[in-house]
């Protein structure tokens, strides 16, 4: 059974909803997920210009892919996040807190500002590593 141990020399990141690092033990499988975005099942962009809606759908898509591996968001051990507007993304990070907080996890993450994502109008992308 996977064990997680938060590593936070100070608690500033915990106040923002994530651990600075986690020590993972007892893992049997590792799952690496490509960036998930605000697209429908046909790959069409949804919610152009709406950061909050794009984050919500990207999280839905991430959760669907993780479930496809027989895991839940509780298994996510690292996130990589890309946003065309970091301030707008941060204003909507309560969505990540609600989704991951519901599983009582705060995976380490990196948020990067980028000038563009794969499709014009795409504002947010999230990739994950999970383990069990």
CA gap 50, 130 in Å, rounded: 28
Mean pLDDT of 65-84: 97
Mean pLDDT of 40-53: 97
Instruction: Specify the DSSP class assigned to residue 15.
Output: H
Q: How far is CA 99 from the centre of its chain?
A: 9
* Unique residue bearing structure tokens 């697209």: 39
Q: Are strands 76-83 and 3-7 parallel, antiparallel or unpaired?
A: unpaired
pLDDT at 1: 86
pLDDT at 15: 87
Mean pLDDT of 20-41: 94
Span between the terminal Cα atoms of the chain, in Å:
7
Helix (H, G, I), strand (E, B) or coil at 23: strand
pLDDT at 107: 96
User: Per-residue confidence at 31, pLDDT binned at 50, 70, 90?
Assistant: very high
How confident is the prediction for the chain on average, in pLDDT?
96
Helix (H, G, I), strand (E, B) or coil at 103: coil
Q: Are strands 30-36 and 124-131 parallel, antiparallel or unpaired?
A: antiparallel
């Amino acid at each position: 059974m996977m064990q997680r141990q938060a590593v936070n020399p100070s608690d500033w990141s915990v106040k923002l909803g994530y651990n600075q690092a986690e020590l993972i033990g007892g893992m049997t499988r590792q799952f690496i997920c490509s960036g998930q975005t605000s697209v429908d099942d046909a790959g069409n962009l949804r919610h152009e210009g709406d950061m909050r809606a794009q984050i919500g759908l990207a999280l839905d898509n991430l959760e669907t892919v993780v479930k496809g591996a027989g895991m839940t968001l509780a298994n996510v051990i690292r996130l990589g996040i890309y946003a065309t507007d970091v301030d707008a993304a941060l204003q909507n990070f309560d969505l990540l807190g609600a989704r991951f907080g519901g599983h009582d996890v705060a995976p380490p993450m990196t948020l990067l500002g980028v000038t563009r994502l794969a499709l014009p109008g795409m504002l947010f992308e999230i990739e994950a590593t999970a383990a069990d």
